[in-house]
Amino acid sequence: MTGSRRSNSEGEKLDPRTLAAQALGREDESTGAVVPPIHFSTTFTRRDDYGPRDHVYIRPDSPNAEHAEDVLATLEDAVGAMSFGSGMAACTAAFHALESGDHVVCGKTVYHGVKAWLERFGPARGLTFTFVPNDDLTALKSAMQPGKTKLVWIETPANPLWTVTDIAAAAEIAHAAGAQLAVDSTCATPVLTKPLTLGADLVVHAATKYLGGHSDVLAGMVAAREDTPLWRRIREHRTFAGPVLGAMEAFLLTRGMRTLFVRVERQCQSAMKVAEFLAGHPKVDRVRYPGLPGDPGHAVASKQMLGGFGGMLSFQPAGDRDSAIRLVLACRVLKPATSLGGVESLIEHRKTSEGDIVTETPDNLIRISVGIEAVDDLIQDLDRALAAV
């Protein structure tokens, strides 16, 4: 990136909140602008001796993508990060980097697109896979095929039941069998959990969600603990298949990450209040939020999610699928849309969004992404909607 003249990413050890707010403190060398320019140019001239500059061609070498990657790598304590054109492009990059004959162990409750890709494209690429319950370490251990299992894929807390997997324990099991551990940490964000410091090899983000934070950019990230052959293979996949992030999206993503900490801190506080309200409501049968002391994932979440339990929760109102959909539509402040991690609160009937993938999602499950609005407005909206159905 141009203008790292006063970059504060090295030397003095600064708090991640400072590094995020200043996007590593980089400024534009030629103007001193504290917000770097967007480089739309797809190509870069060579030097007078015909040697390459830092950037040659935008597919592998985008200045704006590199800035976003450096910010995330810093927040995740990673050796490096790679950006992608979507969260799914980032998730599947890890699978594309595997070889025919490799075996994958994957949590049973993960983002539905990851399951769909494995089921529909994994066999054609020679991959075999086993799904195991997210919070069952014994099942994880017995699913490992030493020498053949190359990747363990977990998501924690996991869409949309918010089951929690013990990252350190999963890493130990994966490594004992010679496999690497990838963690989809989209919903925990580096504010709450740093999977690489707990032993994971790769951390993956649908940056479309919390990292971008404003529901206006589609992006994905993978970051690695160490420079391994798998990591280099992921880069080769990205270079030659080309699922890269555009300059404008990279700029928006970097801008979003500047406010990541304040957004997530508020979202955690509000989600806890919304979860407590729903848990005490007579028309609600079950609330799933790792922050609630009675939640099955609470103990592990308390250990590996520091400072909060995230902004995502699900609940099952009394009644069937149709009354759950009526409840979603009765909300006015919470918007009836899929996706998550934005500043505005979203509410959805999850099974409708998942389509025909076989998942563990109950028919009447409603998922909420808590935004940064006044929490009393959100609770009042849910209270009114619950009374109306």
Task: Give residues 310-349 in contact with ligand PLP (rule: CB under 6 A).
Answer: 340
Rounded distance between C-alpha atoms, residue 119 and residue 136, angstroms: 22
Cβ proximity of 124 and 100 under 8 Å: no
Among 3, 80, 87, 311, binds ligand PLP (CB under 6 A): 87
User: 232 catalytic, yes or no?
Assistant: no
Residue 206 vs 257, nearer CB to ligand PLP: 206
Q: Minimum CB separation from ligand PLP for residue 96, in Å?
A: 15
Residue whose pair of structure tokens reads 């649908």 in the numeric block? 206
Residue 244 is given by DSSP the state P
Rounded distance between C-alpha atoms, residue 126 and residue 151, angstroms: 14
Among 111, 162, 289, 315, binds ligand PLP (CB under 6 A): 111
Rounded distance between C-alpha atoms, residue 286 and residue 315, angstroms: 6
Q: Minimum CB separation from ligand PLP for residue 106, in Å?
A: 12
Q: What is the dihedral of CA 381, 382, 388, 389, to 10 degrees?
A: 150
Residue 103 vs 209, nearer CB to ligand PLP: 209
User: 111 catalytic, yes or no?
Assistant: yes
Residue 239 vs 338, nearer CB to ligand PLP: 338
Q: Point out the catalytic residue in the list 209, 225, 266, 351.
A: 209
Residue 113 vs 308, nearer CB to ligand PLP: 113
Residue whose pair of structure tokens reads 């500047």 in the numeric block? 258
What is the per-residue DSSP string for 141-177?
HHH--TTTEEEEEEESSBTTTTB---HHHHHHHHHHT
Residue 1 vs 93, nearer CB to ligand PLP: 93
User: 13 catalytic, yes or no?
Assistant: no
Beta strands 202-206 and 220-224: pairing type? Answer: antiparallel
Query: Closest CB to ligand PLP belongs to which residue?
Result: 87
Q: Point out the catalytic residue in the list 6, 46, 53, 59.
A: 59
Cβ count near 242 (within 10 Å): 11
∠373-73-134 over CA atoms, to 5°? Answer: 70
What is the per-residue DSSP string for 14-72?
--HHHHHHTGGG---TTT--SSPPP---SB-PPPTTS---S-SBTTT--HHHHHHHHHH
Cβ count near 246 (within 10 Å): 19
Among 78, 152, 183, 218, binds ligand PLP (CB under 6 A): 218
Q: Point out the catalytic residue in the list 111, 115, 194, 381.
A: 111
Q: Minimum CB separation from ligand PLP for residue 157, in Å?
A: 9
Residue 185 vs 284, nearer CB to ligand PLP: 185
Largest CA distance in the chain: 75
Residue 277 vs 309, nearer CB to ligand PLP: 309
User: Per-residue x/- marks for ligand PLP, 197-216, CB under 6 A?
Assistant: ---------x-xx-------
Q: Minimum CB separation from ligand PLP for residue 340, in Å?
A: 6
Among 27, 102, 135, 155, binds ligand PLP (CB under 6 A): 155
The residue count for binding ligand PLP (CB under 6 A) is 17
Residue 174 vs 206, nearer CB to ligand PLP: 206
Q: Minimum CB separation from ligand PLP for residue 93, in Å?
A: 12
User: Per-residue x/- marks for ligand PLP, 156-195, CB under 6 A?
Assistant: ---x------------------------x-xx--------
What H or E segment, with its residue span, contains residue 317? strand 312-317
User: 59 catalytic, yes or no?
Assistant: yes
Cβ neighbours for 299, distance < 8 A, ≥ 6 positions apart: none
Q: Minimum CB separation from ligand PLP for residue 372, in Å?
A: 18
Which strands, in side-by-side order, build the sheet including 312-317? 284-288, 312-317, 366-369, 346-349, 335-336
End-to-end CA distance of the chain: 54
86 binds ligand PLP (CB under 6 A): yes
Residues that bind ligand PLP (CB under 6 A): 86-88, 91, 111, 113, 155, 159, 184, 186-187, 206, 208-209, 218, 220, 340
Residues catalogued as catalytic: 59, 111, 184, 209
